[in-house]
Chains A and B, each alone.
Chain A
Amino acid sequence: MRLLIFFCALTATLIFSRCGDKSTSHPYKATPYEINIPFGFPTNLNIPEDNPMTVEGVELGRYLFYDGRLSGRTHPDSLISCATCHRQERSFEAGIDHPDFPGGFPHGINGLKTHHVMLPMINLVWNSSGYGWSGFLYPENPIENLRNLEDMVRLAVLAKDEIDGDTTRIKKLFQSINGYPNLFEKAFGSSNVTFKNIEKSIAQFIRTLISANSKFDKYMRGEEQLTQSELAGYVLFTTEEGADCFHCHGGWGNPLFTTHLFYNNGKDTAFLDPLDRYSITQDPMDRGAYKATTLRNIEVQGPFMHDGRFTTLEDVINFYSHELNMTPYIDPLMHHIIAGGIQLTPSEKIDLLNFIKTLRDDEFMTKVEFSKPDKFPDEL
């Protein structure tokens, strides 16, 4: 009998010590949401352990993302949601043609302009190096509540230049809206509306926003051919002697079309913005550095760069061609700086632009699952 106890104890220890396997037991039984990895995409996802993806969580997140009452206000004139600025048809940026933000420069509910222009919401589940233009939200951040998309939800809700909400009011309001408590129950096992669960569900929804069906994706999968000009542009994009964009903006082997890393790409000679990459790392080499954004869907976005200085992609290509500024902070990958730029000819510029346009994914920008729900829970 001693032996028996010994074996049982041993077995138990083994079970509990197996490979540091973290058993995540949840009191509620929401349906796991499966993310399908598109061809060539990374298999590592940035999903925090305490917020696993569920079908019910994503559904709730979609409602909240689009619900103008997310500020805690209900007056028709004071409705604002994430989608007020992050529009699906603009790859979740505001876009130059936004009805309320002339030129695509957004402002919050109080009219206060945002410090930088928009970032798109696309393939963010693959970003582990930092959200925001400066990458101020990252998984290893010693400041625990500045680490991930959940935190971005809170910051956007609280920011004076965005939603300017009050979490207590928001919780109370959503607790009182018919249908929502039930959705919280289904997603998180409690009909009690908490701000944490608001953060979690919206973050889950954002993680489902995957774009991987552009013309270039079809080319990669062997389903479609690129035109002569697009191919010429692709060659320029991925060669050092050409336009040399791929080291920072990806390509075949990095189909995110971004490294999510931070570079000074030669826009300026003086760096006065207090919210550049340097503000996060305190590394002098990071002065004037910002995230190299993904070029997927870039055609429908804009204005371009963190301060929105360029209105068109033609402007951007002209900048990389002839208008680079040399400073000690320029990233070494900008080796064309010595010539002032990549010096493309007019026809090469057209080819490069045509290639960049193959990264547009119309399916992403019209997909029903990502769009505004027809009815909110209290209208059902």
Chain B
Amino acid sequence: MHNKNNYIIIPTLLLVSLIFSSCENSSIEPENPTGKLRIEFNHYINGENIIFDSMAYVNDAGNNYLVNEIQYFISDVTLHKNDGSTIILNTWQDILYVDTDIDETNSYIFKDEISEDEYSKLSFTFGIVAEKNNSLMFVNPPESFMFWPELLGGGYHYMKLNGKWNNELNQPAPFNFHLGIGQIYYSFPDSISEYVQNHFIVELPEMALNIKDNETTTIKLIMNVDRWFNTPNIYDHNFWGGDIMQKQDAMQQAIENGHNVFSYIIK
């Protein structure tokens, strides 16, 4: 059986096996036309890019403030269609980390092949849902630096928004606007009766979002930082103080405002 065809069959087999073993970045030609989605993360105050470390801003409570850095997770990004059906973009990664100090975290292309279509809306979870928010699931920095202490509920900070405001004594007082699992106390700070999952779903306004075959659609997602402090609750740093990880009432105000914080533009 010394067939000349073997010379072709063997390399073919080799080729095929190579294709299928190529570290997951190859795929069989899809039957349906599909495109990709990129999200670019932007951070605004009063409609413009934040100038960090500049005490140039005033919130609705009248606090002059500056922003030093913002670090947060969003997860389970979902595309909605007019017929009510949805697709969760989680093939590769369901939790995205964004850090204003690390450029590479400010843009993300989903690995998901999204069917060509007109989508009507985008939504995501701000933070991480309880079932997934497990301690030590991120062992590598920078995500690991987001850990939320075991005693306070464990898992990860949803957000660290660090800055300063001019307090009543006109001192630049630090604020750590940190969100994560909250606690209800029997007696503060020693005895906790229950934990509160503060993650919430952000539904962005409807907008025609076209995914086209072989194209990458870019969404510019904007965190309007001023809105953490004004709608519907006027958040006063003088009232809540510099830290809120153990103040569920403050976190509750924040998450109610959080529904209005994001907007987006399709590029």
- Contact with A251, one of B14, B141, B147 (Cβ below 8 angstroms): B147
Q: In the assembled complex, which residues on chain B have CB atoms less than 8 Å from the CB atom of A259?
A: 141, 145
Q: In the assembled complex, which residues on chain A have CB atoms less than 8 Å from the CB atom of B136?
A: 40, 252-253
Asked if A115 CB lies within 8 Å of chain B CBs, one says no
Asked if A333 CB lies within 8 Å of chain B CBs, one says yes
- Contact with B53, one of A43, A251, A285 (Cβ below 8 angstroms): A285
* Cβ of A334 to closest chain B Cβ, rounded Å: 6
Segment of A55-63, A206-214, A241-249, A311-319 in the binding face: A241-249
- Cβ < 8 Å to A, chain B residues 142-180: 144-152, 154, 156, 162-164, 167, 171-176, 178
B-side interface residues, number (CB < 8 Å): 50
Bound-state Cα–Cα, A252 to B11, Å: 52
Asked if B246 CB lies within 8 Å of chain A CBs, one says yes
Asked if B12 CB lies within 8 Å of chain A CBs, one says yes
Q: In the assembled complex, which residues on chain A have CB atoms less than 8 Å from the CB atom of B8?
A: 3-4, 7
Chain B residue with the shortest CB-CB distance to A252: B150
A335 in contact with B175 (CB, 8 Å): yes
- Contact with B23, one of A4, A10, A18, A330 (Cβ below 8 angstroms): A18
A335 in contact with B246 (CB, 8 Å): no
- Contact with B163, one of A241, A252, A332 (Cβ below 8 angstroms): A332
Given A241-B189, A333-B174, A338-B171, A251–B149 Cβ distance below 8 Å?
A: yes
- Contact with A338, one of B138, B148, B162, B242 (Cβ below 8 angstroms): B242
Given A254-B147, A332-B68, A334-B174, A18–B22 Cβ distance below 8 Å?
A: yes
| Interface 1/0 per residue, A271-313 and B, CB below 8 Å | 0000000000000110000000000000000000000000000
- Contact with A11, one of B15, B68, B147 (Cβ below 8 angstroms): B15
Q: In the assembled complex, which residues on chain A have CB atoms less than 8 Å from the CB atom of B145?
A: 254, 259, 261
Chain B residue with the shortest CB-CB distance to A4: B7
B171 in contact with A14 (CB, 8 Å): no
Asked if B139 CB lies within 8 Å of chain A CBs, one says yes
Asked if A101 CB lies within 8 Å of chain B CBs, one says no
Asked if B135 CB lies within 8 Å of chain A CBs, one says yes
B25 in contact with A337 (CB, 8 Å): no
B14 in contact with A11 (CB, 8 Å): yes
* Cβ of B185 to closest chain A Cβ, rounded Å: 10
| Interface 1/0 per residue, A18-42 and B, CB below 8 Å | 1101000000000000000000111
B246 in contact with A241 (CB, 8 Å): yes
* Cβ of A287 to closest chain B Cβ, rounded Å: 12
Bound-state Cα–Cα, A282 to B189, Å: 41
- Contact with A326, one of B69, B150, B171, B243 (Cβ below 8 angstroms): B171
Q: In the assembled complex, which residues on chain A have CB atoms less than 8 Å from the CB atom of B188?
A: 241
Of B53, B139, B162, chain A has the most CB atoms within 10 Å of the CB of B139
A239 in contact with B172 (CB, 8 Å): no
Asked if A51 CB lies within 8 Å of chain B CBs, one says no
Q: In the assembled complex, which residues on chain A have CB atoms less than 8 Å from the CB atom of B139?
A: 40-43
Asked if A44 CB lies within 8 Å of chain B CBs, one says yes
Asked if A177 CB lies within 8 Å of chain B CBs, one says no
| Interface 1/0 per residue, B1-30 and A, CB below 8 Å | 000000110011011001100110100000
Asked if B187 CB lies within 8 Å of chain A CBs, one says no
Q: In the assembled complex, which residues on chain A have CB atoms less than 8 Å from the CB atom of B53?
A: 284-285
B147 in contact with A252 (CB, 8 Å): yes
Bound-state Cα–Cα, A254 to B140, Å: 9
Asked if B74 CB lies within 8 Å of chain A CBs, one says no
- Cβ < 8 Å to A, chain B residues 102-155: 135-136, 138-141, 144-152, 154
A253 in contact with B246 (CB, 8 Å): no
Asked if A235 CB lies within 8 Å of chain B CBs, one says yes
Query: Which B residues lie at the A interface, using CB under 8 A?
Result: 7-8, 11-12, 14-15, 18-19, 22-23, 25, 53, 68-69, 135-136, 138-141, 144-152, 154, 156, 162-164, 167, 171-176, 178, 188-189, 241-246
- A sample of 29 inter-chain contacts (CB < 8 A) reads A11-B11, A14-B15, A14-B19, A14-B22, A18-B18, A18-B22, A40-B139, A43-B140, A44-B141, A235-B151, A238-B149, A239-B149, A239-B245, A240-B243, A241-B188, A241-B243, A252-B135, A252-B154, A253-B146, A253-B154, A254-B144, A254-B147, A332-B68, A332-B174, A332-B175, A332-B176, A335-B241, A337-B174, A338-B174
Query: Which A residues lie at the B interface, using CB under 8 A?
Result: 3-4, 7-8, 10-11, 14-15, 18-19, 21, 40-44, 128-129, 235, 238-242, 244, 246-247, 251-254, 259-261, 284-285, 326, 328, 330-338
